[in-house]
Amino acid sequence: MNLKRTLTATAALAAALQMVSAADIVGKITLKGTPPPEKDIQLDANCGKLHPDGNPKTKFFVTDGKGGLGDVFVYIKDGLTGKTFEVPAEAKVLDQKGCEYSPYVSGVQTKQKLAVHTSDPVLHNVHPTPAVAGNKESNMAQLPKSKDLEYSFENQEILLRFKCDVHPWMFAYVGVVSSPYYSVSEKDGTFKIANVPAGSYTVEAFHRKGGKVTQQVKVESGNATADFTIELKEEAK
């Protein structure tokens, strides 16, 4: 028997079995309504030097101009009770570049390492400001070229804010989730929560300014689709 062919067949079978027991939840977030114009960020002199082409703008509504809404945190909110998940060994990275946090919205699993890096030639002061009990607030200066500051959070928190005490415009929002089943939408609104086991779930799409929407999603074999619409309310404008 041809060994290579046997291995290929085995791999295909394994992939097929995987398909039956887990699938992706894919979808698109649509923004209904016109978001307010973004504002110019007023940088200080040192940070201004890092933006020779002009000051960056706020990123309250990241859109593709065709209805797609980015930076929406999407995660399985209910349906995983009683399950525990291995904590990924690799750290998620939050960078400080041009006196902005990057990414602006991201996710990490509870107890997983979050490494805050600096790419900047200026001093930052990293200050997570959790609102959920058990998640630790701290406040650490970070000099240029110094090593990453490492964080981990015990409890789920949507979304946990990081700020910089030197630069009052610097914020990042991190979704801390007790499972690996989360995603952040791209600029065109699309997202994918990968490899979700079969089951019935409540999936929530959370946008910091636009609010949250939930829906029931059933995952069987093949991908499940979950599209969301976030409607702008007056107070968001």
Closer of 74 and 166 to Cu ion (Cβ): 166
CA 180 – CA 65 distance, rounded (Å): 30
Residue 110 is given by DSSP the state: T
Residues that bind Cu ion (CB under 5 A): 124, 164, 166-167, 170
Name the closest residue to Cu ion (Cβ).
164
Closer of 42 and 225 to Cu ion (Cβ): 42
CB of 209 to Cu ion, least distance (A): 22
Q: What stretches of the chain show up as alpha helix (H) in DSSP? A: 3-21, 45-48
Tokens in use for 98?
Answer: 């041009």
Closer of 28 and 124 to Cu ion (Cβ): 124
CB of 208 to Cu ion, least distance (A): 20
CA 220 – CA 21 distance, rounded (Å): 7
How many Å is the Cα radius of gyration of the chain? Answer: 20
Q: What are phi and psi of 25, to 5 degrees?
A: -100, 115
CB of 155 to Cu ion, least distance (A): 26
CB of 42 to Cu ion, least distance (A): 14
* Neighbouring C-beta atoms of residue 135, cutoff 10 Å: 19
Closer of 7 and 143 to Cu ion (Cβ): 143
